[in-house]
């Protein structure tokens, strides 16, 4: 009879023998051409630390997607019956075999459970390793690549491989082939001049503008030069509605790229535009090394814009600002551990782990869709679907480059494919191109017209979802035959879905009044209206709205007056006039801007799918 110690030794030897050898056959997992606008400058330092994000397949995602559409479809009996955190995690969890085989592979490189972390559903594995080890694991070579226009640098490769037996058990590994440059979608801002202040005083004394859909049928004339909280409430028929602070409703704003929302500026803003909110504040949550610098001269224009308008519109709804650290650029003179991942994934890891995330969350950052590897874009999009299934409404700015890339200045736009062909192509943005989020375009002035920089178009990655088929097909039929042929994908997910005011917003930045614009103003504005709708629903014992798009398009088809249809303006880019705003949905302003009063009447009906839309 063998001793227990002998069995232990034999078991250890057998387990060690089962580990895949480092030199086993590998297969190229992903390969991209040298990215346009980037220059390979030097080999990456061997001791530079990167955090590899390893995605395991989600074999039951189609089932999650079915649940998402059923609970988001106002015509379905399950409308509003969102899934729990645990139910969602069970639907995206990888197979045990995938977990086991990936564990073996990591162990063969000396990486064990104590050296890694996992997402709540175990569908992501995160490991921090030096470049030299990543190169061995992925049979690749990392280099420092410099972006020609900005001078920013990243550590990336153009191809990597995995052991052949893991091909079906790992969907992707990043950072490897992603050369995106996450941008804040803010166009320009300027401090108020004496001339502008004089014009504002004149406008303040002018007669109001007649807008039948607005609260009271009119809007202050000053709103044509300066957008305030009062202007939004008037224009979108929300005057007089008071959300509850105690019904469980919450709103969130995401912040990236060292953007800090300044509390002192917020108080100054409140004193001028929302005096009843004075001395109230918001919760700041730090993610992945995010910071909360409250030095006044470090205030972020983007963060202040988002917080002041979203939280000003929804006071006294409890509010959260998520400050997420990390950005792709690599600093070659600082070889301390740093995160070179796309920050969206860091935020998603955090928010999906929360039991009760805010029901409405706005984001004003994006990448050119073509710079995000398809595999990664789809996985991040799937993460947004998980939030939607749990009852979270996600709004994203549609972009500030019209049909071009994120550059507002058409002279700086590079409307070429990034696949080595250098073909001319319109440039949609991601994440607004994800079908599981609500993309928000922009308008300007009263009466409203499309603002010229409003991002819009058609995804080259995601097909058009069924919820927008009718509205988008109708628009495409109005285009003269051959219009922009080859410049966009007429079968792609269309953006934006909706719109809101996007320019001339008056905020406070570093203690001074500033006029600011961009679809980064439109997204928190529309999110503020959604949060008010959620408050109205929750106060009546109804569920939050969750994933908005099926409802948005259903309402627009049944009662177009619930949205203010924008029929003038266009979004030039890539050397073209872009698309025109027109009757019904269009790729400049979506189905239009919200009429809160009408929408509230619809969404607060019980049995919405029967009483509200049939």
3-state secondary structure (DSSP) of residue 151:
coil
Put residue 572 in one of left, alpha, beta given phi > 0 → left and psi -120 to 50 → alpha: beta
Locate the DSSP E strands across 389-437: 393-397, 429-430
For residue 94, the number of C-alpha atoms closer than 13 Å in the C-beta half-sphere is 23
- CA–CA separation, 197 and 214 (whole Å): 26
3-state secondary structure (DSSP) of residue 385:
helix
Whether 497 has a binding-site annotation, put simply, is no
Kindly state the DSSP code that residue 560 receives in the 8-state scheme.
G
Q: Which of 123, 220, 306, 342 is catalytic?
A: 306
Q: Which of 308, 318, 298 is nearest to 244 (CA)?
A: 318
Specify whether the CB–CB gap between 344 and 387 falls below 8 A.
no
Give the pair of three-digit tokens for residue 101: 């085989």
Kindly state the DSSP code that residue 318 receives in the 8-state scheme.
-
Q: Which of 30, 51, 73, 302 is catalytic?
A: 302
Q: Which of 457, 441, 435 is nearest to 388 (CA)?
A: 435
For residue 564, the cross-strand partners are: 593
Q: Which of 184, 520, 523, 535 is catalytic?
A: 520
Kindly state the DSSP code that residue 479 receives in the 8-state scheme.
S
3-state secondary structure (DSSP) of residue 546:
coil
Specify whether the CB–CB gap between 397 and 432 falls below 8 A.
yes
User: Does the annotation count 306 as an active-site position?
Assistant: yes
Spell out the residues 6+ positions from residue 285 whose beta carbon is closer than 8 angstroms to its own. Answer: 320, 321, 322, 323, 350
Give the pair of three-digit tokens for residue 403: 């049909």
Write the secondary structure of 285-311 as one string of H (helix), E (strand) and C (coil). Answer: EEECCCCCCCCHHHCCHHHHHHHHHHH
Measured in degrees and rounded to the nearest 5, phi and psi for residue 345 equal -65, -35
Write the secondary structure of 435-492 as one string of H (helix), E (strand) and C (coil). Answer: CCCEEEEEEECCCCEECCCCCCEEEEEEECCHHHHHHHHHHHHHCCCCCCCCCCCCCE
User: Does the annotation count 497 as an active-site position?
Assistant: no
User: Does the annotation count 520 as an active-site position?
Assistant: yes
Q: Which of 438, 360, 389, 314 is nearest to 63 (CA)?
A: 389
Whether 541 has a binding-site annotation, put simply, is no
Give the pair of three-digit tokens for residue 608: 């919405």
Q: Which of 590, 585, 274 is nearest to 454 (CA)?
A: 590
Whether 565 has a binding-site annotation, put simply, is yes
- CA–CA separation, 374 and 20 (whole Å): 29
Whether 54 has a binding-site annotation, put simply, is no
Binding residues for Ca(2+) are 565-566, 584, 586
Binding residues are 565-566, 584, 586
Residues carrying an active site annotation = 302, 306, 520
């Amino acid at each position: 009879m063998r001793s227990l110690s002998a069995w232990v030794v034999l078991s250890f030897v057998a387990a060690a023998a089962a580990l895949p050898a480092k030199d086993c056959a590998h297969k190229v997992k992903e390969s991209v051409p040298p990215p346009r606008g980037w220059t390979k400058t030097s080999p990456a330092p061997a001791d530079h630390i990167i955090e590899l994000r390893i995605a395991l397949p989600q074999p039951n995602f189609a089932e999650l997607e079915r649940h998402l559409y059923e609970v988001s479809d106002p015509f379905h009996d399950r409308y509003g019956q969102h899934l729990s955190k645990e139910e969602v995690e069970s639907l995206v969890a990888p197979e045990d075999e995938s977990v086991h085989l990936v564990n073996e592979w990591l162990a063969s490189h000396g990486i064990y459970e104590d050296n890694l972390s996992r997402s709540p559903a175990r569908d992501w594995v995160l490991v921090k390793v030096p470049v030299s080890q990543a190169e061995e694991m992925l049979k690749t070579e990392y280099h420092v690549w410099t972006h020609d226009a900005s001078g920013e640098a990243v550590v990336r490769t153009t191809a990597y491989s995995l052991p052949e037996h893991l091909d079906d058990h790992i969907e992707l590994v990043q950072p490897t082939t992603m050369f995106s440059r996450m941008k804040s979608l803010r166009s320009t801002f300027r401090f108020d001049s004496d001339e502008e202040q004089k014009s504002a005083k004149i406008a303040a004394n002018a007669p109001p503008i007649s807008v039948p859909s607005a609260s009271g049928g009119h809007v202050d004339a000053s709103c044509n030069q300066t957008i305030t909280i009062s202007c939004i409430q008037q224009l979108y028929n929300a005057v007089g509605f008071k959300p509850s602070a105690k019904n469980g409703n919450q709103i969130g704003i995401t912040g990236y790229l060292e953007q800090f929302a300044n509390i002192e500026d917020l108080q100054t803003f409140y004193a001028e535009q929302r005096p009843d909110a004075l001395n109230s504040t918001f919760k700041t949550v730090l993610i992945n090394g995010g910071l909360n610098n409250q030095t006044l001269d470090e205030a972020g224009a983007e963060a202040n814009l988002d917080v002041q308008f979203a939280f000003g519109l929804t006071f006294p709804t409890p509010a959260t600002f998520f400050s997420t650290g990390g950005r792709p650029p690599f600093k070659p003179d600082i070889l301390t551990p740093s995160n070179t991942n796309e920050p969206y994934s860091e935020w998603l890891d955090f928010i999906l782990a929360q039991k009760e995330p805010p029901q409405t969350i706005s984001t004003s950052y994006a990448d050119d869709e073509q710079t995000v590897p398809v595999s990664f874009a789809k996985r991040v999009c799937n993460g947004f679907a998980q939030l939607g299934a749990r009852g979270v409404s996600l709004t994203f700015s549609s972009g500030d480059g019209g049909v071009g890339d994120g550059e507002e200045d058409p002279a700086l736009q590079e409307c070429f494919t990034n696949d080595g062909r250098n073909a001319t192509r319109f440039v949609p943005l991601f994440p607004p191109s994800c079908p599981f989020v609500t993309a928000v375009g922009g308008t300007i002035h009263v009466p409203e017209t499309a603002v010229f920089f409003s991002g819009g178009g058609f995804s080259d990655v995601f097909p058009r979802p069924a919820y927008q088929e009718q509205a988008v097909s109708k628009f495409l039929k109005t285009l003269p035959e051959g219009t922009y042929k080859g410049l966009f994908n007429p079968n792609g997910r269309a953006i934006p879905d909706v719109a809101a005011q996007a320019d001339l917003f008056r905020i406070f930045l570093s203690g001074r009044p500033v006029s600011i614009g961009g679809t980064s103003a439109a997204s928190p504005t529309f999110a503020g209206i959604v949060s008010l709708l959620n408050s109205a629903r929750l106060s009546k014992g109804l569920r939050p709205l969750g994933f908005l798009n099926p409802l948005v398009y259903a309402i627009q088809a049944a009662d177009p007056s619930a949205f203010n249809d924008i029929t003038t303006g266009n979004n030039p880019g890539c050397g073209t006039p872009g698309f025109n705003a027109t009757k019904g949905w269009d790729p400049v302003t979506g189905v239009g801007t919200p009429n809160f009063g009408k929408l509230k009447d619809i969404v607060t009906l019980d049995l919405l799918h029967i009483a509200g839309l049939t």
